[in-house]
Structure 1
């Protein structure tokens, strides 16, 4: 019993001391390796450790800290736009320095941390410690200092690669290094998809040009496409362009969030696009039921299996209408918590 008590006390003392002492380069590198995205997330319990502590043990590395938010309630468009730019800033460094240490001067290392406000009224202690009132905010903590030794980095008005390049230049001057370059990865997936799409399109045109000509001359097809396009533009694309909302956000644990629950007046860009697709597909399906099925019936009326084909097509379209309307009501109930009506999800059968 006495041994267990002493062990518990010793463990508590070690944890307390480690929470206030400055982290070493090795500790930074180990934490970055566990993060999976080269950014250390600050919490109320660890921010003093990663930013330098309050004792006389200095920081072992240079640290750039981002104070931000991805919550739409704050209306911080700059915060949302800077998310991808900060990731580019981080990946540009770690692309050439996997361990976070400068190649031209092994005595100098750079690591990146981030802390976000997720909900109004729940302000992280790191914000309170530095008395931050405006976000996004970049604070640079030079190696060898303590938690109160830092400088604020200006965030230029330019967006995209210009802003990232400006910050890289500022960090090189603050640290005293030159081996830090902007890294823009090649999007091979996009190139591959584009090449495949072009090849498939050329093949289909050459193989079925007569059928495609007849299809493109169809008034019904153009009517369906026009209605779907109008709905997509009105309910999704135009809203995203005017408001400049982000496609998605992140939750309290770093997960991607596509739909804001119980937020009827706020939404992400991808949410409006999802609903626009629902509207367009529902419109197309209704047109198919009202106009396509009668034409299909006329085409197959002289065949013995014509009735069966028309019945199957009608059922398929009706089930599709039900499925998309059920998905729509599910999204609506997520946005409006008190909505009492629910439709059975066909996907639940699988």
Structure 2
């Protein structure tokens, strides 16, 4: 009886010794049928490819590409996994890593086994024997698509990190995309050529450059660049109440710079109107009234601006009316 047991164990160990090679041959045949595509798995082939022992890495994408599931991330990642597979099979070592896709329609039992409630999901079953054997805590490793990204380059980097297989992703030229860019460029150039006289006349308009220059001056005087460099909050708080202005000349809030910018803009508008439009009024009484109103608005708005400076820093020495 003991001899029979020893023979049985010897036979079992012999079978196990060749089981990895058997699976590699089986998977290589499936790869040969379509080298540019990941292996299409079902429950049976999934169990065969992922069971121990393994002397290869097995990457499995669990997905649901059926129209009834409306899984757009599944379809988007399907293109990326094809690119990874094609790139690996072009230059990667044979029989050391395999890529498979298990759709929900072909492997409901696997989905229930791993209690999957969302897809796509990527499992890596590392080698359990051979020169590339890895000892990990769990049976498999998970590629987090939400955190690590769905691009082929991201997945290839993760593969290299966890299996040692470097994959150089070579994306095919997207002629449709470049064709669209070419059409847009030709259309833009054609439009510019057809409208060149109107464009030149528009760009030669002195008032346009005056308005643009004045706008830039107002924006930058209001503290726009300071906000871009320092990144202050939009508003602050003081004694539990919202604060629009920060004390001192070394700090400011975004809302504060917007308010100051509006005040600067109003001061500029009143002055420009007073200088350019009032002299054109033919009626003397109307001209005087307009001059008085615009001058009053200019003085009061400028007084408000000085008041803001005094509010920010009580030591500011200048005031005007307010």
Q: TM-score range by the shorter chain?
A: 0.3 to 0.5
Q: When the two structures are superposed, what TM-score results if normalisation uses the length of structure 1? A: 0.39
User: Which structure would you say has the larger Rg?
Assistant: 2
Q: When the two structures are superposed, what TM-score results if normalisation uses the length of structure 2? A: 0.42
